[in-house]
Chains A and B, each alone.
Chain A
């Protein structure tokens, strides 16, 4: 395999890591007001991802930096072209990250409600926009001979792009509900699984439509495999949710996300960003790539470090793979709303 192809596949792997892991973080964030009926329940939900969300988000950073290192032209055209969409994603990720850390620091309902809003908005927006972005990358956007994007934010908001956005949004909600079914106890767990069963129907319709559209408009012969796997996975996840088999359901939605990335990246290859202006202006794995030497260096770094990262990240999942219930949450938490006069000791 050519090194450029290898790096294209490796970036697919990094995006799989990001979307599978932060996908359920987004789902948990979105479902916060739906499943969390009071502050303690909402804290249970947040604490299921508390120890891991930050490590999950690093997959995005590495996917971004990996694109910069391996395909600088792709990075440059994509990031300057999708400017305002990325700005929205950045704002969302900033308020969401701060919200996780700061929400519990003050024991005050108004303070916490405001950060809850930040978590919901910060989860919904990126979940939607990553789908919009990827759909547009696959479909092609106006790019001129100088590799410059010539559209606007509205260019991205076409029917296919929006369907892609709804796909990731609904898929991550389902993925997150199953994750919560797997990580909580009691009433919360039952409600999460019941919600997953309900979510699975619209998700299957939306994601199925997007997959078929992608396949018919941009797919290759072999990417039908990914479409079929995704469809079976979605049907299976819904069935698993109805039978309260959370682990199976969660494994299946993870596979669906893998299949989605395979479908999108498979449809793209060998382009990385096709031009809707003129196919001659397409960015490809060849004309967007770094030199052979850089790719060799980065391959060594990735080959040595990725297994180590997977090892300790899996370990952190194992450490916290214990269901949480409302009994695990300490009362109050954080500083009281009104400062104390005398120093506490």
Chain B
């Protein structure tokens, strides 16, 4: 493999890995903040115990998001330096803003939250976890604004003298319609992720408590978290669906090739159907038989089920006329299947919401062993939906690193192959191996700790929580 392929694998592995942890951080920070607010407002000790329990899990996860995030920023320069030269004028700005507005906020206040339990007043301490929640959500906005530029460049011109893209409007960049659609989709998906996580663990504990007379009292502790998570899951789930639909409509206009690839739609069709699954070869030779719901793709893309949706073959011809000879198809199988897997895994979270609401109706609690198992098994589903969704949107952008804007300056575009650094394949291979091994090791440690802390359950409150003496040892310490 050459440096380009290795750099692509490395970007895929490190980004997907980073994005395993980040959505949970984004969603869990506000949920922990809500739990702590509930304790602050009601004085109900169950909320304090839940805050500390899910707060510990949040921190185990937060650390992974932080350390893998540094790699992301360095990687653009290390592996994609020609891309960085081409777009640095535009792309660097949201990254720097992310650091100044979001990373400082979340990193400083997470320290205050961890160590501030007995150093700050309850009100100020509560404010610190909200600052963390705001910080992580803000950071998502800036990085998505940066990514949206790669999907749909706006606020930019091409300078033929320097051969570089130049920023013309920061407000256009930050209000890129692609970003305004992708940001709420990511945030709501993150809420679904965190809510599934909380509901899964709390649901499992409720069943366990109900079936074990010794720990019957424990079930009552988890109930408020379980209900909170179900509400967040429902709201988030509806939000994901609505924002996903908006994104599909934008994608139809902005990246028709990605749309066609997502549907494995080889030939232009009026009233194109939504393919449920494909039989045979969903590869680049465009020979597929699919089982589809008539008119659904056309409807999702445009709101009109008789509308015409362009197929891969016609788009390819169009692109070649516009951008010169070349292959402008993303890998159809990857795009097609990841799109379906994203939707499927996302729908599994909704299943948990429905089951949970059914079991807790009119003050009830789940006690069926199978439900406890299902609750745990469903926890990975939204993580897989996030990962497949991310792979879909990034692989669907190929072969572009900056996809051309159909209504913008067509000179502002770059093929992924043109963006790679001039470093040797051996160098990239070295770092690919190092990161993969290190990340695999850390994943094992992360999972072990998460599992360990989740299975120990809610802990009794330390004496320091009752009396706020200044001489007491730190209640949260490394």
**Residues of A that sit less than 8 Å from B by CB:** 43, 46-47, 50-55, 57-58, 60-62, 64-73, 75-80, 83-84, 86-87, 90-91, 93-95, 97-98, 100-106, 147-148, 290-291, 293-294, 297-298, 301-302, 305-306, 309, 312-313, 316, 319-320, 322, 327-331, 333, 335, 339-340, 342-345
Contacts of A342 in B (CB 8 A): 214-215
What is the bound-complex CA distance between A50 and B458, given in angstroms? Answer: 24
Please determine whether B115 and A64 come into contact, CB atoms closer than 8 angstroms: no
Q: How far, in angstroms, from A331 to B218 measured CA to CA in the complex?
A: 26
Known contacts: A58-B104, A69-B95, A293-B168. The answer to whether A340 contacts B88 by CB under 8 A is no
Across the interface, B111 reaches (CB within 8 A) one of A54, A66, A80, A95, namely A54
Closest beta carbon of chain B to A10's beta carbon, Å: 11
Q: Are A68 and B111 in contact, CB atoms less than 8 angstroms apart?
A: no
Shortest beta-carbon distance from A109 to chain B in Å: 16
Task: Name 18 interchain pairs, CB-CB below 8 A, sorted by A.
Answer: A47-B477, A51-B112, A51-B114, A57-B70, A62-B104, A64-B74, A69-B95, A70-B96, A76-B85, A76-B88, A90-B70, A90-B71, A98-B442, A98-B445, A309-B100, A320-B119, A343-B457, A345-B457
Cβ–Cβ contact A344 & B111, under 8 A: no
Contacts of B110 in A (CB 8 A): 54
A43 contact set on B, CB distance < 8 A: 477-478
For the complex, is B431 an interface residue (Cβ under 8 Å from A)? yes
Contact present for B77 and A75 (CB under 8 Å) = yes
Contact residues, B28-77 vs A (CB, 8 A): 59-60, 62-64, 66-71, 73-74, 76-77
Q: Is the CB of B477 within 8 A of A50?
A: yes
Cβ 8 A contact of B218, one of A47, A65, A103, A345 = A345
Write out, one digit per residue, whether chain B residues 438-478 have a CB within 8 A of any chain A CB (1) or not (0).
10001001000100110111111010000000010111011
Inter-chain CA distance A62–B73, complex, in Å, is 10
5 shortest interchain CB distances as A-B pairs: A72-B88, A79-B77, A69-B92, A68-B92, A51-B111
Q: Counting CB contacts under 8 A, is B354 at the interface? A: no
- Is there an interface contact between B478 and A100, defined as CB atoms closer than 8 Å? yes
Whether the pair A297, B60 counts as a contact (CB closer than 8 A) is no
Stretch of B224-232, B269-277, B419-427 that contacts chain A: B419-427
| B267 interface residue per 8 A CB criterion | no
Structural contact, A330 and B474, CB atoms closer than 8 A: yes
Bound Cα distance from A102 to B101, whole angstroms: 27
| Distance from B174 Cβ to chain A, minimum over Cβ atoms (Å) | 10
Q: How far is the CB of A136 from chain B (nearest CB, A)?
A: 16
List the A side residues contacting B164 at CB < 8 Å: 72
Contact of B78 among A80, A94, A301 (CB under 8 A): A80
Q: A94-B71, A298-B96 are in contact. Are A339 and B456 (CB under 8 A)?
A: yes
* Residue among B73, B456, B478 with max Cβ neighbours from chain A (10 Å): B478
> For B377, what are the chain A residues with a Cβ–Cβ distance below 8 Å?
none
- Besides A312-B109, A335-B452, 20 more A-B contacts (Cβ < 8 Å) are A43-B477, A51-B116, A55-B111, A68-B96, A69-B95, A70-B96, A80-B78, A83-B78, A94-B67, A105-B449, A106-B452, A294-B90, A294-B166, A301-B97, A319-B119, A328-B473, A329-B477, A335-B453, A340-B456, A345-B457
Known A50-B115, A65-B92, A101-B478: A344·B457 in contact at CB below 8 Å: yes
Shortest beta-carbon distance from B374 to chain A in Å: 21
B81 within 8 A of A: yes
How far is it, in angstroms, between the C-alpha of A79 and the C-alpha of B115 when the chains are bound? 35
Q: State in angstroms the CA–CA spacing of A9 and B76 once bound together.
A: 24
Residues of B within 8 A of A327 (CB): 471, 473
| Contacting pair A83 B88 (CB below 8 A) | no
Q: Chain A contacts of B87 at CB under 8 A?
A: 72
Query: Is B91 interfacial (CB 8 A cutoff)?
Result: yes
Contact of B96 among A65, A97, A313, A340 (CB under 8 A): A65
Complex contacts, B460 vs chain A, CB 8 Å: 344-345
| Nearest A residue to B69, CB-CB | A61
Residue among B76, B77, B422 with the highest chain A CB neighbour number at 10 A = B77
Do A329 and B474 touch (CB < 8 A)? yes
- Cβ of A69 and Cβ of B96 under 8 Å apart? yes
**Given the complex, which residues of B lie within 8 Å of A343, measured CB to CB?**
208, 215, 218, 456-457
- Nearest chain-A residue to B455 (Cβ)? A339
